[in-house]
């Protein structure tokens, strides 16, 4: 198959017209009125927040679900009646990669080769090509369950590619995968597309969407728009600016977001990035940005256009500002660790981790999967006992007074860890009780949280049935119930749509303004820019610790004059790989 | 590039791949091995052996109604047995009181005409054994060992006197308190029923549900594999595992635990296969409907395991159940299997029992396979 010179002239691999999909016992259809096309030799991004209907659409195309309404044609066949014909020529990687954990890499490949009917004589060269392509040659005998997230993802891709499919369906292949693995996967898929394969790639990462040839934007089961991402990005052209602010950028951002002219605003290192409404003007002085600061025009991003298409971020400041008592900022650090070490048998998961976080700071922990960032994080919030070294949180030594320390910290787990069949009110009361609040104090705490997070209309709903954004807000409310000094957030926004993420960070910013300290782990590189300082953890050690801007500056080169946070992340890790062991610090 | 291949041939290839995959999973998953090969031994041991082990020294009374000197050596034989703690009395009533009070577990009565019968050509020397039937294993134990001791004594006497041994002593057991006694002989068929249910229903339901939970089922369904191949690829390995475990169980029961096996292996295999098909059908149905390991496990326990233990006649005699419960036992395949197995093990291939119960089991498996064919689709809905 050769590359299609003009893909629009050939019929698309997938055509979807007026598709609707309803599941029994749900109010809203999972998909409604969807038109979409996937063409050969292109990456079509399927973009949208959790619950938008991305997975449902991919499953309908793969013939695993039947459409309730509308027409679907895949590789010339109707998946409702000829799913087997489609399966012959279509590779599909489901969200959890579909690997057998007890089988080794090569056994997984052999299994899928048999299932896909790869003939014996083609097998050896195919395996070799795919193993080389995915860089898994050294791990052929390792069990799939023992692979890292990024390696599993590559093996999943290899299994989907065994019979040289014409169409490749990838369902959120990059969820929970670190930037390096994401970038490698992207390069691999790009290569396949060069060979003429058509790819449908679903993602919640908007920076990924920006790189696709075409995107289909879904929200709540409906299509918002589709087309090349540049076209959508163009709609916010000359409306994106950054503003250099030296002090109090969170306060200034909060003020800016209250203005009607501002559609979106985020912190980006030492600057504030703003998207303005068409035809509106914005005066930096009006938010107290100080004299001499100017709006500097910047290139629009896909995310800006996405937020614009969804109608901008909600106005108003976080109710945290009024409802919470400020913490007195003194010299003592909120979190302090020295030579913190954790060993699992021979394996050193965290190796002499040392840093100190002053009060009122947002501190980010970044690192590839399995680098030790979760281990460090869990030791600091008292969930894991260190093998060595010191750690103090909110003034308490974690080895001696872990329970006192735990009373002063709030923790929000990565997964939704509330009781799904309790109502919002019951969950709040339960957590208030856990933190030792009773009687009047408990009632006050619960009603304060209901007010801050706007739960008035949901208090009697079972929390398991809330949309993801609400669940995450509730989880945050539960972790703030006892007004902790230090808040630990473990990948708090993974899978949450950009609007809900903005709202979430508005609360975080308000908390920090009140003197609270926040420690956060994330795979979103733009979120790393919201932090005051970032520690990059790799192979159990802190390989870099600085403000986001300093990190970016440190990797600036002639090849990359204006590095992004992701560029910095990758460059710093590569740099650490090149150094002899033990020399980095 | 479309591949031109014989569809039939690639179907076999896929099925072989699925079976090989399942085999690797079974081997690397300790729980399957545990259920198939460790659990049977455990069950046999628990139900059939552990109780006996507790009673290597049983308190037994010897009531002497025959006061001839001949009996002296019989008393000595009992005293020398490592299995008994003997209390000898001329008063049968006194020992009976001890038995009722639980001070002794069994009572051996030497009738007044014992010596006379033994010395008289053509006589039938008999010992009466009265055992505490509320502990059936102990009661059986008493009976068997009294028989052993008595026969040994007779042979010794014959050698001493140079006369050929007369007819062996007949021990006439009489069970008090629990006339429908059970023993390890009954345990073997019941244990096999439980193991087959565990493998066929519980294990199969769990491993299929696991594929749904981990998303591997979804990945498999997006390949050219047919739904029949997926089903067969699950059934055949667990069918093999079930038969292997049954064979293991039978060998362990007959060789280690000395249980009788009076039927033929052919009927054992055929009959077990029928039951195994039924169990696999239930297991598949449960997992197709439940799709989560937790729910599938619960259903498999309630629909498969519990009836196999409670309603099969394995532990609780069906004839002594209330009529409603007795009626209920007809709804669960385990009952038919245990009946047939008891016949194969204890009585031999009684064709009337085997064909009747086998026909019911065949009906059950056909029913479940039809249901499976109806509900299973190569789709996620």
pLDDT digits (tens, 9 = 90+) for A257-302: 888 889 899 888 888 899 998 888 888 888 877 766 788 899 999 9
The DSSP symbol for A467 reads -
What does the longest C-alpha to C-alpha distance in chain B come to? 100
Q: State how far the Cα of A489 lies from the Cα of A477, in Å rounded to an integer.
A: 12
pLDDT tens digits, one per residue of A26-76: 778 889 999 999 999 999 999 887 778 899 999 999 999 999 999 999 999
The predicted structure's pLDDT at residue A37 = 93
Q: Which two tokens stand for residue A264?
A: 């979106």
| Inter-chain residue contact A119 with B220, CB threshold 8 Å | no
- A114: nearest CB among B16, B25, B218: B16
| Inter-chain residue contact B224 with A92, CB threshold 8 Å | no
From A394-403, B115-124, B266-275, B371-380, the region with the lowest mean pLDDT: B115-124
Q: What is the DSSP string of B184-248?
A: HHHHHHHHHHHHHHIIIIIIHHHHHHHHHHHTHHHHHHTSS--HHHHHHHHHHHHHHHHHHHHHH
| Inter-chain residue contact B14 with A164, CB threshold 8 Å | no
Q: State how far the Cα of B208 lies from the Cα of B286, in Å rounded to an integer.
A: 9
pLDDT tens digits, one per residue of A467-507: 777 888 899 999 988 889 999 998 888 767 788 888 888 88
Q: How far apart are the first and last CA of chain A?
A: 49
Q: Average of pLDDT values for A423-439?
A: 88
Q: Is A412 exposed, middle or buried (0-12, 13-18, 19+ CB in 10 A)?
A: buried
Q: Report yes or no for ipTM above 0.90.
A: no
The predicted structure's pLDDT at residue A519 = 95
How do strand A388-393 and strand A69-74 relate by DSSP bridges? unpaired
Q: How far is A218 from chain B (nearest CA, A)?
A: 22
pLDDT tens digits, one per residue of B79-96: 887 778 888 888 888 888
Q: How far is A111 from chain B (nearest CA, A)?
A: 6
| Inter-chain residue contact B224 with A88, CB threshold 8 Å | yes
Residues on chain A bordering chain B, Cβ-to-Cβ distance under 8 angstroms = 1, 59, 62-66, 83-84, 87-90, 92-103, 107, 110-117, 119, 156, 159, 163-164, 169
| Inter-chain residue contact A64 with B221, CB threshold 8 Å | yes
CATH number 3.20.20.70 is the correct assignment for the domain at B58-161:
no
Among candidate residues B97, B284, B313, the one with its CA nearest the CA of residue B208: B284
Write out residues 202-261 of B within 8 Å (CB-CB) of A: 214-216, 218-226
Q: What is the pTM of this model?
A: 0.76
Q: Average of pLDDT values for A154-166?
A: 89
Q: Are the CB atoms for A576 and A180 separated by under 8 Å?
A: no
Domains in chain B: boundaries: 2-51+182-380, 58-161
| Inter-chain residue contact A102 with B28, CB threshold 8 Å | yes
Q: Are the CB atoms for A343 and A540 separated by under 8 Å?
A: no
Q: How far is B14 from chain A (nearest CA, A)?
A: 5
Q: Give CA angle at B120 (B116, B126), nearest 5°.
A: 55
- Among chain A residues, the shortest Cα distance to B5 is held by A117
Q: State how far the Cα of A249 lies from the Cα of B214, in Å rounded to an integer.
A: 45
- B381: nearest CB among A62, A65, A96: A65
Does B3 contact A at CB distance below 8 Å?
yes
The predicted structure's pLDDT at residue A155 = 92
For residue A114, the chain B residues in CB contact (below 8 A) are 13-14, 16-18
């Amino acid at each position: 198959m050769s590359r299609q010179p003009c893909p629009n002239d050939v019929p698309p691999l997938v055509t979807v017209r007026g598709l609707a999909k309803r599941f029994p016992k749900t109010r809203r259809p999972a998909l409604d009125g969807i038109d979409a096309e996937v063409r050969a030799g292109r990456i079509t991004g399927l973009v949208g927040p959790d619950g938008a209907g991305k997975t449902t659409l991919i499953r309908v195309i793969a013939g695993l679900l039947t459409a309730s309404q509308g027409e679907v044609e895949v590789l010339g066949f109707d998946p409702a009646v000829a799913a087997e014909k489609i399966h012959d020529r279509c590779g599909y990687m489901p969200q959890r990669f579909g690997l057998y954990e007890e089988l080794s890499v090569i056994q997984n490949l052999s299994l899928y080769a048999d299932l896909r009917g790869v003939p014996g004589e083609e097998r050896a060269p195919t395996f070799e090509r795919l193993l080389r392509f995915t860089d898994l040659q050294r791990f052929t005998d390792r069990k799939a369950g023992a692979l890292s997230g990024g390696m599993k993802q590559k093996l999943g891709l290899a299994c989907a590619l065994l019979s040289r499919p014409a169409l490749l369906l990838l369902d959120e292949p990059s969820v929970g995968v670190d930037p390096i693995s994401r970038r490698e996967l992207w390069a691999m898929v790009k290569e396949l597309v060069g060979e003429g394969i058509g790819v449908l790639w679903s993602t919640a990462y908007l920076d990924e969407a920006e790189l696709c040839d075409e995107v289909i934007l879904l929200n709540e089961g409906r299509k918002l728009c589709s087309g090349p991402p540049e076209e959508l990005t163009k709609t916010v052209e000359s409306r994106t600016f950054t503003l250099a602010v030296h002090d109090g950028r969170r306060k200034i951002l909060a003020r800016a977001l209250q203005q009607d002219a501002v559609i979106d605003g985020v912190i980006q290192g030492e600057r504030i990035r703003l998207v303005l409404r068409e035809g509106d003007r914005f005066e930096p002085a009006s938010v107290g940005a100080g004299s001499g600061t100017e709006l500097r025009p910047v290139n629009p991003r896909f995310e800006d256009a996405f937020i614009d298409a969804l109608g901008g971020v909600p106005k108003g400041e976080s109710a945290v500002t009024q409802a919470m008592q400020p913490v007195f900022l003194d010299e003592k650090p909120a979190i302090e660790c020295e030579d913190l070490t954790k060993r699992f048998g021979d394996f050193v998961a965290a190796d002499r981790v040392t840093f100190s976080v002053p009060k009122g700071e947002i501190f980010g922990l970044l690192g590839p999967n399995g680098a030790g960032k979760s281990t460090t994080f869990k030791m600091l919030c008292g969930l894991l006992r260190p093998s060595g070294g010191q750690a103090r949180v909110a003034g308490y030594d974690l080895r001696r007074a872990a329970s006192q320390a735990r009373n002063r910290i709030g923790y929000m787990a990565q997964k939704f860890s509330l009781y799904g069949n309790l109502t919002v009110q019951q969950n709040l009361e339960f957590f208030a009780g856990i933190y030792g609040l009773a009687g009047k104090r408990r009632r006050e705490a619960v009603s304060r949280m209901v007010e801050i997070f706007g739960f008035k209309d949901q208090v009697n709903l079972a929390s398991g049935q809330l949309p993801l954004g609400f669940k995450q807000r509730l989880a945050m409310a539960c972790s703030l119930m006892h007004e902790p000094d230090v808040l630990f957030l473990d990948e708090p926004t993974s899978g949450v749509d950009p609007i809900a993420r903005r709202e979430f960070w508005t609360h975080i910013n308000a908390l920090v303004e009140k003197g609270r300290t926040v420690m956060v782990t994330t795979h979103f590189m733009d979120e790393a820019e919201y932090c005051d300082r970032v520690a990059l953890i790799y192979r159990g050690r802190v390989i870099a610790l600085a403000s986001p801007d300093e990190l970016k500056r440190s990797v600036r080169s002639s090849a990359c004059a204006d590095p992004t946070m992701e560029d910095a992340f990758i460059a710093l890790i590569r740099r650490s790989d090149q150094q002899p062991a033990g020399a980095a610090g | 590039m479309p591949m031109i291949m014989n569809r039939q041939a690639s179907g076999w290839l896929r099925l072989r791949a699925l079976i090989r995959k399942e085999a690797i999973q079974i081997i690397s998953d300790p729980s399957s091995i545990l259920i198939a090969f460790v659990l049977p031994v455990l069950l046999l041991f628990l139900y059939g052996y552990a109780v006996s082990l507790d009673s290597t020294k049983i308190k037994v009374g010897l009531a002497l109604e025959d006061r001839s000197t001949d009996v002296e050596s019989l008393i000595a034989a009992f005293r020398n047995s490592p299995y008994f703690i003997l209390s000898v009395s001329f008063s049968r009533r006194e020992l009976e009181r001890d038995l009722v009070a639980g001070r002794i577990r069994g009572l051996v009565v030497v009738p007044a005409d014992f010596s006379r019968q033994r010395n008289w050509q053509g006589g039938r020397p008999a010992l009466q054994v009265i055992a505490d039937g509320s502990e059936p294993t102990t009661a059986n134990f008493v009976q068997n060992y009294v028989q052993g001791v008595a026969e040994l004594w007779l042979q010794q006497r014959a050698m001493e006197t140079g006369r050929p041994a007369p007819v062996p002593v007949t021990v006439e057991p009489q069970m008090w308190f629990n006339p429908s006694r059970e023993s390890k002989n009954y345990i073997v068929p019941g244990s096999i029923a439980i193991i087959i249910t565990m493998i066929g229903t519980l294990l199969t339901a769990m491993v299929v549900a696991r594929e749904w939970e981990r998303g591997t089922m979804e990945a498999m369904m997006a390949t050219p594999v047919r739904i029949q191949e997926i089903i067969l690829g699950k059934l055949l390995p667990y069918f093999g595992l079930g038969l292997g475990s049954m064979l293991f169980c039978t060998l362990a029961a007959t060789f280690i635990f000395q249980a009788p096996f009076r039927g033929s292996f052919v009927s054992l295999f055929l009959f077990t296969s029928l039951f195994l098909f039924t169990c696999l059908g239930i297991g598949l149905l449960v997992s197709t409907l439940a799709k989560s390991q937790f729910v599938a496990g619960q259903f498999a326990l309630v629909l498969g395991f519990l009836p196999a233990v409670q309603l099969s006649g394995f532990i609780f005699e069906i004839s002594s159940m209330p009529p409603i419960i007795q009626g209920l036992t007809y709804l669960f395949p385990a009952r038919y299997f245990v009946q047939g197995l008891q016949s194969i093990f204890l009585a031999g291939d009684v064709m009337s029992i085997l064909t009747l119960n086998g026909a019911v089991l065949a009906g059950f498996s056909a029913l479940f396979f039809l249901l499976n064919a109806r509900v299973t689709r190569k789709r996620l809905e």
